[in-house]
Amino acid sequence: MRPHKRTGTVYLVGAGPGDPELITVRGLNAIRTADALVYDRLVHPALLDEAPARAERIYAGKAPGSVAMEQADIERLLVHLAHRHERVVRLKGGDPFVFGRGGEEALTLREAGIAFEIVPGISSSIAAPAYAGIPVTHRERARGFTVVTGHTCRPDEMPDWAALARATTLIVLMGLGRLREIAGGLLANGLSAETPVAVISRAATAQQETVGGTLATIAERAAHLASPATIVIGEVAAIHERLAWYDTSDTAGIERMRAPFSDHLVALSA
């Protein structure tokens, strides 16, 4: 007989971006056997339907301008649920450890003595470029890639970004609302105005849209795009023109691909 376990296990699961089929098999199995599910805003609703009917479903996302639940409340909730349930799934868009605050939640669980597992997810930082036909590394064009958040693009940080962009593909999450600032900062730090840039909005959904340009033109060109969006800066961004493959007018199972982002749910990048 298994020893009696006082508390359940929390699974920090990455849901992947956009298309609900981009979750891992392990992630989907965790949802299908969940007693409770705590989910974020960028998680596709179809994935919630995969949980058993009896499972408790709790929304922990933040709506623009308001806060559904503070981070500390979410962490307390996970601990609380683990005392009541065998299997608690904490579901996040993309990967739980890439700007997902999964690390903080795992630390809280560890301190509380609660068992957890991390189920990595496909991060939008690589999936959005892939869905736009942009390889983040490419022979002779990019030896690596760097992922940063546009939320903290303070002017004094931009010299580092320019250096990173010279050596690698620079991928900016949560940056759409600051695109002009970001492009301007990189130009001010010596990047060429001709540096290719692509912005991919709502990747892997029926509303996906990619806009290409240069550091000089991108702010103007991408001004109409909706969040969530991923910004790709560097030589590889130009490959989009030759490798674009994802046709939103010809998507099998188009219903599945409807963006989960209703208009009041999409200000993460602002």
Which residues contact ligand SAH (rule: CB under 6 A)? 17-18, 42, 92-95, 98-100, 123-125, 128, 173-174, 200, 202-204, 227-230, 268-269
CB-based contact 241:148 (threshold 8 Å)? no
**Looking at residue 5, what DSSP letter applies?**
P
Q: How far apart are the C-alpha atoms of 262 and 269, rounded to whole Å?
A: 14
Tokens of 71: 């981070």
> Residue 127 CB, nearest distance to ligand SAH (Å)?
7
Q: How far apart are the C-alpha atoms of 125 and 68, rounded to whole Å?
A: 25
Tokens of 188: 């001010």
Q: Is 46 helix (H, G, I), strand (E, B) or coil?
A: helix
Whose CB is nearest to ligand SAH? 94
- Kindly name the residue from 19, 40, 92, 95 that is annotated as catalytic: 40
> Residue 154 CB, nearest distance to ligand SAH (Å)?
18
In this complex, which beta carbon is closest to ligand SAH, that of residue 8 or of residue 175? 175
**Looking at residue 138, what DSSP letter applies?**
B
Pick from 132, 164, 147: which is nearest to 98 by CA?
Answer: 147
In this complex, which beta carbon is closest to ligand SAH, that of residue 128 or of residue 142? 128
92 included as an active-site residue: no
> Residue 208 CB, nearest distance to ligand SAH (Å)?
7
In this complex, which beta carbon is closest to ligand SAH, that of residue 85 or of residue 229? 229
In this complex, which beta carbon is closest to ligand SAH, that of residue 8 or of residue 14? 14
Strand ranges of the sheet holding 56-59, from the earlier edge strand across to the other edge:
56-59, 36-39, 87-92, 9-14, 115-119
Pick from 43, 204, 201: which is nearest to 130 by CA?
Answer: 204
Beta-carbon contacts of residue 224 (< 8 Å; ≥ 6 apart): none
**With b meaning 16 or more CB within 10 Å and e meaning fewer, what string describes 191-205?**
beeebbbbbbbbbbb
> Residue 202 CB, nearest distance to ligand SAH (Å)?
5
The helix (run of H) or strand (run of E) holding residue 128 is: helix 124-131
CB-based contact 131:208 (threshold 8 Å)? yes
In this complex, which beta carbon is closest to ligand SAH, that of residue 195 or of residue 269? 269
In this complex, which beta carbon is closest to ligand SAH, that of residue 81 or of residue 203? 203
Catalytic (active-site) positions: 40, 62
